[in-house]
Amino acid sequence: MKFFIDTANVEEIRKAKELKVLDGVTTNPTLISKEKRPFMEVVREILSEITDKPVSLEVASTDVKGMIREGERLAELGSNVVIKIPITEEGLKAVVHFEKKGIKTNVTLVFSPAQALLAMKAGASYISPFVGRLDDISYTGMDLIKQIKKIKDNYQFCSEIIVASVRNPIHVTESAIAGADVATIPYTVIAQLVKHPLTGIGLERFLKDWESVPEKPF
Ligand code: G3P
């Protein structure tokens, strides 16, 4: 399973890069707004950090013409730019347009298998079902991933499933068990994945016992 980082913060992207587990970046208008800097400044910085892996940048228009105009402008910023488009009727038209032009798309705000099916049929390169937000309203978000994976396999759709709205390490491991192609993960959760209380306790004990070993070579 590929690991994308879900952030517009360049420092977090750099830290994730150092861990050597980073396969791409996803952003959205909320994440961009948290940076409190001009949009193009943030985007150019992300693209100078990530040159050879997919970077999803979201359109802000709701009509197909606007989505195409914005998406084409964003696509000019780098060959690794993926245009993130909400799952609406207008959005699907834009996906078909970009697919014909060879520009990759990431269909976002997916909350049902039917939405995912439509996006896959339209030729989306990626689809982003949001597990955390479903959990928030007392649905099991991970069930959606299993359903979409089944539909994808039934018809050999090429779209990659990105598990989005990831809130904790369980979301990540369950995504891998379900066979998702990608999980897009906030940096805080990537950091949590490394940790286990027993690892901390075990390491502390090893270091303490090491102190009493005589004639250490290093
Ligand atoms: O990028 C889309 C998604 O990952 C947002 O997550 O935490 O705002 O539901 P969240």
> pLDDT category, 207, cuts 50, 70, 90?
very high
If you ran DSSP here, which 8-state letter would residue 130 be given? B
Closest CA to 84 of 143, 181, 8: 8
Provide the CA 163 distance to its chain's centre, in angstroms. Answer: 7
**Active site annotation includes 84:** yes
- To test the ligand 1 pocket, which listed residue (5, 6, 32) has its Cβ within 8 A of the most ligand atoms? 6
Residue 10, pLDDT above cutoff 90: yes
Confidence of residue 218 (pLDDT cuts 50, 70, 90): confident
Instruction: Please provide the average confidence, as pLDDT, over all residues in the chain.
Output: 97
Q: Ligand 1 mean position to 209 CA, how many Å?
A: 44
In Å, how far from its chain's centre is CA 184? 3
What is the pTM assigned to this prediction? 0.95
Taking the centre of ligand 1 as the mean of its atom positions, its distance from the CA of residue 130, in whole angstroms, is 7
The model's pLDDT over 135-184, given as tens digits with 9 standing for 90+, comes to 999 999 999 999 999 999 999 999 999 999 999 999 999 999 999 999 99
pLDDT > 90? residue 214: yes
Percent of the chain with pLDDT over 90: 98
